[in-house]
Amino acid sequence: MGHCYHCRMVSCVLCVLLVLSIVLCAHGEDDFQWTQTDRGSFYYGTFPPTFMWGVGSSAYQTEGAWDSDGKGKSIWDVFTHKKGKVYMNQTADSSCDGYYKVKDDLALLKELNVSHYRLSISWPRIIPTGVRAEHVNEKGIQYYNDLIDTLLENKIIPMITLYHWDLPQNLQEKSNGWQNISIVTYFNDYANLCFERFGDRVKHWITFNNPWSVAVEGFETGEHAPGFKLSGTGAYKATHNMIKAHARVWHTYSKNWRSKQKGMVGISLTTEWGEPVDLSSQKDIEAAERFVQFHFGWFANPLYNGDYPQIMKEYIGQKSAQQGLGISRLPTFTSQEKSYIKGACDFLGVGHFTTRYITNRNFPSTQGPNYFTDRDLRELVDPKWPEPESKWVYSVPWGFRRLLNFVKTQYGNPLVFVTENGLSEKMHCAQLCDEWRIQYLKGYINEVLKAMKDGVNIQGYTAWSLMDKFEWDEGFSERFGLYYVEFRNKNKPRYPKASVQFYKKVIGASGFPNVREVEKWHRLSTESCSTTNQLLAAEEQRNAAANILRLIHDPLVSHMEMVTEIVVPTVCTLCILISAILLMILLRRQI
């Protein structure tokens, strides 16, 4: 009897110790170590053989054919057709003509030897009014069927985004789009149609791409379609409905399609990393955490933990009360909704481009409702960081590893796909020797490798983007592509930048095997672009000559068009020639 009692006591003690260890481990996972900043040197090593390598694009930015074959209008079609909304009043009416150039673009994907291609479906192309019960456009369905089949025939996995910002305009006019709860049903019907028609072949579904931009730039600042400035309220309401829409679609897939199609449904959240300016300042650490929670946690926390981040609820609630409002401007989920939303994600897509330093700053509530002042922080950049090719994308690779580790600790180490990562440049002259992009990709992909060593559960990487395309309110002035697109040429030819060869080598070796190999790739990549640069320069000269002849015969061509299409390239060419002459003079003097 005594022996049994002793056994029971030992068992009880062991159980208690086991429970304590589980609690301690769980507690440890909840705490991201803000003060641990091991950036380390470049790490040479390779990814697992099963790691997926890809590139991405989106329907509105590349397809063109904005009113062809039964496609309905999107909010971006309407937005860009209004003067003053986009740089130089440019539109994506034709963009890269991707709708007509599937075979051409497949050749680019094959050249890169990617394992997956991330693309989006245009909701108004397959459901012109946005309402499935009204009309399904079979020509649009056929286009995506053919595209998916073509990819699979060439052993390229399609990773498809359902919503990359191009809401059917009819839904915006009919029910106020993402501001109205009815959008959840319309989006679910659209997603269900996609699962029905394409799900037998598509196994990776992303509901939303960067919903932060949809909410904040569409409904807070008005920089993006539909262009509303509902300060301090619109972005929160749009987000609330997008989270509900995502959860609804995930449950629809689980109920109706998962057992047959064996696919996954996730979401792609894009965020900058926020690093405390002063790691010894608790206020700066808290401000950096607010930055990430207001940006990334706003969407991820409900899906993984069942509700908005506590810090968002506290800050927005306090500001709302100080502004004399009876309830918080941040909407609330019912207990039933929390249970429904929590866990509704098979994988987490992480998009990332750059980092900011963050410091605390108190904004008085008297300034009125505003998403940005709700956060009580200030964003800074380090003057030591390399000057960016584009005004906002500073290359800060170590921030990516920090973000990925934050995801691991905050959300229970979910399955992660890097869904967007890349660098843009702003220039009017063609430049294929994109040394800066090679350095960026090398640094950021290496931080993904380091994060995997840290134990982050990453299964794939997607470079953004396959080719230059329409960049929203920046028009065609900002170029993210691995391939240069000559938009002034009616055939929209694609030319490989040096980064194509470098990324291709990284994919082929699945990482960075050793110093000598990586240096060799770098050298060969930059050498390869010179010949293509000469071909492109010749093409531009022919275009310039054609434009001059057109101007002579067409006095109605605007002065602005003349400046952008003729004067700027001509000035660029002259600058290059003058620079070469000056360099020769300088070299002769030194001799």
Distance CA 442, CA 419 (A): 17
End-to-end Cα, the chain, rounded Å: 101
Topology of the domain comprising 51-99+113-479: TIM Barrel (3.20.20)
- Is residue 420 predicted with pLDDT exceeding 50? yes
Could you tell me the CA-to-CA distances from 167 to 73, 126, 268 in Å, in that order? Answer: 9, 12, 17
Residue 261: both structure tokens together: 């199609």
Least confident of 209-223, 340-354, 423-437: 423-437
pLDDT number for residue 265:
99
Closest CA to 409 of 35, 21, 32: 32
Pairing of the two strands 264-270 and 348-351: parallel
pLDDT number for residue 431:
80
Q: Which tops the pLDDT comparison, 181 or 13?
A: 181
State pLDDT tens for residues 564-575: 444 555 555 565
Range 551-558 average pLDDT = 53
Sign of CA dihedral 448, 385, 464, 350: positive
Residue 279: both structure tokens together: 């790691």
Residue 365: both structure tokens together: 């509530």
Residue ranges per structural domain of the chain: 51-99+113-479
- Is residue 77 predicted with pLDDT exceeding 70? yes
Q: Which tops the pLDDT comparison, 582 or 161?
A: 161
All residues at 6 or more sequence positions from 534 whose CB lies less than 8 Å from its CB, including other chains: none
Closest CA to 226 of 91, 76, 87: 76
pLDDT number for residue 575:
59
Residue 565 is among the residues annotated as catalytic for this protein? no
pLDDT number for residue 562:
45
Average pLDDT, the chain: 90
State pLDDT tens for residues 7-43: 444 344 344 334 334 333 333 335 788 887 778 799 9
pLDDT number for residue 98:
98
| pLDDT bracket for residue 355 (50, 70, 90) | very high
Distance CA 117, CA 196 (A): 21
pLDDT number for residue 570:
53
Closest CA to 250 of 128, 138, 348, 132: 348
Least confident of 4-8, 261-265, 534-538, 544-548: 4-8
- Is residue 549 predicted with pLDDT exceeding 80? no
Distance CA 318, CA 83 (A): 39
DSSP one-letter string for 250-297: HHHHHHHTHHHH--EEEEEEE--EEEES-TT-HHHHHHHHHHHIIIII
The residue type at 423 = L
Could you tell me the CA-to-CA distances from 113 to 31, 70, 153, 435, 444 in Å, in that order? Answer: 39, 34, 14, 21, 20
All residues at 6 or more sequence positions from 334 whose CB lies less than 8 Å from its CB, including other chains: none
Strand ranges in 273-376 using DSSP code E only, listed in sequence order: 273-276, 348-351, 355-360
| pLDDT bracket for residue 527 (50, 70, 90) | confident
Percent residues over pLDDT 90 in the chain = 79
Residue 322: both structure tokens together: 């100080």
Distance CA 463, CA 117 (A): 10
pLDDT number for residue 574:
60
pLDDT number for residue 23:
36
pLDDT number for residue 9:
41
State pLDDT tens for residues 245-266: 999 999 999 999 999 999 999 9
- Is residue 502 predicted with pLDDT exceeding 70? yes
Q: Determine which helix (DSSP H) or strand (DSSP E) holds 60, and give its type and residue range.
A: helix 59-62
Range 228-240 average pLDDT = 98
| pLDDT bracket for residue 386 (50, 70, 90) | confident
Distance CA 475, CA 491 (A): 19
Range 378-406 average pLDDT = 93
Range 63-70 average pLDDT = 98
Q: Determine which helix (DSSP H) or strand (DSSP E) holds 137, and give its type and residue range.
A: none
Q: Which tops the pLDDT comparison, 34 or 82?
A: 82
**Helices 183-198 + 138-153 axis angle, to 10:** 50
| pLDDT bracket for residue 583 (50, 70, 90) | low
- Is residue 587 predicted with pLDDT exceeding 60? no
pLDDT number for residue 19:
37
Tell the residue number behind the tokens 């964003």, with chain if given. 379
- Is residue 5 predicted with pLDDT exceeding 50? no
State pLDDT tens for residues 441-488: 999 999 999 999 999 999 999 999 999 999 999 999 999 999 999 999
Long-range contacts, stretch 320-328, CB < 8 angstroms, 24+ apart: 320/369, 322/365, 323/365, 323/368, 323/369
Task: List the helix and strand counts (H, then E) for the chain.
Answer: 22, 17
The count of C-alpha atoms lying within 13 angstroms of the C-alpha of 124, restricted to the half-sphere facing its C-beta, is: 26
Please pick, among 217, 420, 425, 565, the residue that the annotation labels catalytic.
420
Distance CA 465, CA 483 (A): 8
pLDDT number for residue 557:
44
